[in-house]
Amino acid sequence: MSRMTLALFDDPPREAREPLGPGAFVLPGFALPFVDALLPAIDALTARAPFRHLVTPGGFTMSVALTNCGALGWTSDRRGYRYSATDPDSGLPWPPMPGTFARLAREAAAVAGFDGFVPDACLVNRYAPGARLSLHQDKDEHDYGAPIVSVSLGMPAVFLFGGLARTDKAVRVPLAHGDVVVWGGEDRLRYHGVLPLKEEPHPLLGALRINLTFRKAA
């Protein structure tokens, strides 16, 4: 068969920006041109601020391991959730946010209609097979006017995108290596989570998923 005929059976092209809500968009593959710069930067920052499994105020140890870079980092212990300028494990400031991280976040936010996004916090989540994030809202930031930008790397995940009440039905959004999601405006406080990760090793990252979550926390 000719190439022309075979082309009819290709997957349809994914749009540059797929709306999930009035202020939420998936940007399929938006981070792919940044991956070669992101991976060594993640290795460098996790050498200074290693991944750790935090305990929630309720006393559960999170299955997701995390660390941070930027002026502020999200952390949790028995006393509550908070942003901190220092890594509680070392007492040192979090590693600075690499320039490529900030550029990726700013450019992705602009595609979704949020110009001038300057994140001061980047939470780095690491998922091994079976790790999950139960439904929650991101409410520890001061300015809900700023969006959140999330970058998926490595193994695929199924993201749960709920409503403004915990019991609202959640839609399942498959996220692949290089996908970016921007959440803002009236979607900023929606419940969300990540289903337990299946083991589908990725050529670059092996049996891991890494998610970069950019926020304006202060």
Please identify, among the stretches 13-21, 103-111, 130-138, 197-205, the one whose residues bind Fe ion according to the rule CB under 5 A: 130-138
- Residue 45 binding partner per list ligand MD3, Fe ion, none, with a CB distance cut-off of 5 to 8 Å that depends on partner kind: none
CB of 133 to ligand MD3, least distance (A): 6
- Residue 212 binding partner per list ligand MD3, Fe ion, none, with a CB distance cut-off of 5 to 8 Å that depends on partner kind: none
Residues in contact with ligand MD3 by CB under 6 A are 123, 125, 133, 138, 148, 150, 183, 187-188, 190, 192, 194, 211, 213
Burial of residue 35 (CB within 10 Å: 0-12, 13-18, 19+) is middle
CA 45 – CA 211 distance, rounded (Å): 14
# of chain residues touching Fe ion (CB under 5 A): 1
CA 91 – CA 126 distance, rounded (Å): 22
- List Cα–Cα distances, 37 to 40, 104, 131, 143, in angstroms: 6, 11, 26, 29
CB of 138 to Fe ion, least distance (A): 4
- Helices then strands, each counted (H, E), the chain: 3, 13
Residue 138 or residue 179: which is nearer to Fe ion going by CB? 138
Interface with Fe ion, residue 138, by CB under 5 A: yes
Looking only at the bridges linking them, the beta strands covering 24-27 and 65-69 are: unpaired
Which residues have C-beta within 8 Å of that of residue 76, sequence separation ≥ 6?
Answer: 54, 55, 56, 57, 62, 82
Residue 177 or residue 190: which is nearer to Fe ion going by CB? 190
- Residue 87 binding partner per list Fe ion, ligand MD3, none, with a CB distance cut-off of 5 to 8 Å that depends on partner kind: none
- Residue 141 binding partner per list ligand MD3, Fe ion, none, with a CB distance cut-off of 5 to 8 Å that depends on partner kind: none
- Residue 114 binding partner per list ligand MD3, Fe ion, none, with a CB distance cut-off of 5 to 8 Å that depends on partner kind: none
Residue 177 or residue 192: which is nearer to ligand MD3 going by CB? 192
